[in-house]
Amino acid sequence: MARVSPSQSGVFQTESDLRVERFTESVSFDRRLYAVDISGSIAHAQMLADVGVLTPDEASQIETTLLAIKAEIDAGEFEFQQALEDVHMNIEKQLVDRLGDVGRKLHTGRSRNDQIATDTRLWVRDAIDAIDARLKNLQCAFVGRCDADAETVLPAYTHLQRAQPVLAPHYWLAYVEKLERDRARLADCRRRVNVCSLGTAALAGTTLPIDRHNVALKLGFADVARNSLDVSSDRDYLLEFAFCLTLIAEHLSTWADEWVLWSTVEFNFIKLPQQFCTGSSIMPQKINPDVCELVRGKTARVIGNLQSLLVLVKGLPLAYNRDLQEDKEPLFDSFDTVSACLELAAPIVAGAELKVDSIRSRLDRGFLDATTLMEHLIKLGTPQRTAHHQIGALVKQAMEQNCRLADLPLETFQALNPSLDESVYEVLGVDKAIAAFQSYGSTAPGEVKKQVSYWKEQLNLD
């Protein structure tokens, strides 16, 4: 973070070049840390009073003044100055201007290095909670569709080729599962974020009798960082959060890409809510899925931010280096981007309409029941590889005759496998294929119903 400027330190004999001032400032972006910076400073002042470094009255004056400064920033009445470099110095300068020497005592026993580490941990902790809430909202939107879409069958794809039929709720719950893993990763990340850095000072600790556990308790941290050198250099928690955000963005991009495809005339699976679409400046008929396209597109910047952070910390010697000032802009941008995408994804998911008639009219294309028929042969004793080859041959004949498997005469089936009889038609067709599924976690109607009930309970939707 920012170092003390020449005008504030007795060791310098000249002022900084103004170009250095412009080049090194961070207050243009780190000002958004003001609330957590003030919270950390209040806890620090209270601890200093608890251990006798400050008097109770001095700590009270500092807390009251910091809260007044926060209220001014909240109201947009506080003027941040670039010359003061960062959010910390801007707040501390106002504190000193208002309290004099009492304000100058606040920085006792800490450094900008542990101060910014604490600020970013507090901020990331809150950011994780905010993203988790939005992920849950999106999960609720998917689960909220399941009852209305319970009877709808969709073609599922591999290699973007029709593969097997699945129930629509099974499709929605696939995304719920992905989002749940995102939430689990965030919860695990939060555990490592929730460690107090304050009080390790610049890199070696302090000779003053501070109580770091006292500060941690006041700020709601679950643990206290054990090594001062590590604290000064550590940005693992930022990289981990950035990775979690990147994977969330990847999941959102997959969903958005599918729905862009599904909304085309060629697929004609889904109608997106028009309030989340835009028109064309020249083609009056267009209803473009721009929000979904931008969700997909913005994933690139989130991935790029993660790469920037990974490269930023590569090979930095212990402990603190000014390079680490550059960690905040990509972090903030990834959070803002993913948060905005999640905010829009939930109402799009909730408000979209499946074009059931269109989907149903083409379900018999692509031989979605072929795998079910193969497994029917396996149940009759045919080895899997043999059954796979025989059904492939049947599909070839159906393709040549431009018909469904169910339209082939019994003689055709028996010519390839004499064990087949009229019961073969009981597993042919999309609906019968769906009904034939049995395994746990499959698209079997009973299994899907259980999973919908499970997620309703998990998300408190009952």
State whether 34 and 85 are in the same domain: yes
Number of domains in the chain: 3
Which sequence positions are flagged as catalytic?
A: 159, 280
Secondary structure tally for the chain: helices H, strands E? 19, 6
Total-model pTM = 0.94
Do 299 and 260 lie in one domain? The reply is yes
Q: What is the mean pLDDT of residues 411-422?
A: 92
User: Is residue 70 a part of any domain in this protein?
Assistant: yes
pLDDT tens per residue, range 96-131: 999 999 999 999 999 999 999 999 999 999 999 999
Q: Which CATH number fits the domain that encloses residue 266? A: 1.20.200.10
- Phi-psi category of 395—alpha, beta or left, where left has phi over 0 and alpha has psi -120 to 50? alpha
27-52 CB burial, b ≥16 within 10 A, e <16: bebbbebbebbbbbbbbbbbbbbbee
185 and 334 part of one domain? yes
Residue 214 lies in a domain: no
* pLDDT (0 to 100) of residue 462: 77
Using one digit for the tens of pLDDT, what is the confidence trace for 272-312?
Answer: 999 999 998 999 899 999 999 999 999 999 999 999 999 99
Q: In degrees rounded to 5, what are phi and psi of residue 369?
A: -95, 5
pLDDT of 203 higher than 50 = yes
Confidence of residue 21 (pLDDT cuts 50, 70, 90): confident
Same domain, 204 and 342: yes
Q: Phi/psi class of residue 402: alpha, beta or left (left: φ > 0; alpha: ψ in -120 to 50)?
A: left
Sign of CA dihedral 190, 350, 289, 363: positive
Domain end marker among 361, 386, 420 = 361
Residues 190 and 125 in one domain: yes
pLDDT at residue 6 is higher than 70: no
In whole numbers, what is the pLDDT of the chain averaged over residues?
Answer: 95
Pairing of strands 223-224, 195-196: parallel
Domain, as residue range, for 273: 113-208+220-361
Detail the DSSP E strand segments found in 151-207.
153-158, 161-167, 195-196
Q: What is the CATH number of the domain that holds 375?
A: 1.10.40.30
- Tell me the per-residue pLDDT of 450-459, one tens digit each, with 9 for 90 and over: 999 999 999 9
What's the CATH code of the domain at 53?
1.10.275.10
Using the 3D structure, point to which of 74, 108, 142 is the last residue of a domain: 108
Residues 6+ apart with CB under 8 A from 189: 128, 237, 240, 241, 244
Give yes or no for residue 8 having a pLDDT over 80.
Answer: no
382 and 432 together in one domain: yes
195 and 317 belong to one structural domain = yes
Q: Which whole number is the average pLDDT over 127-146?
A: 98
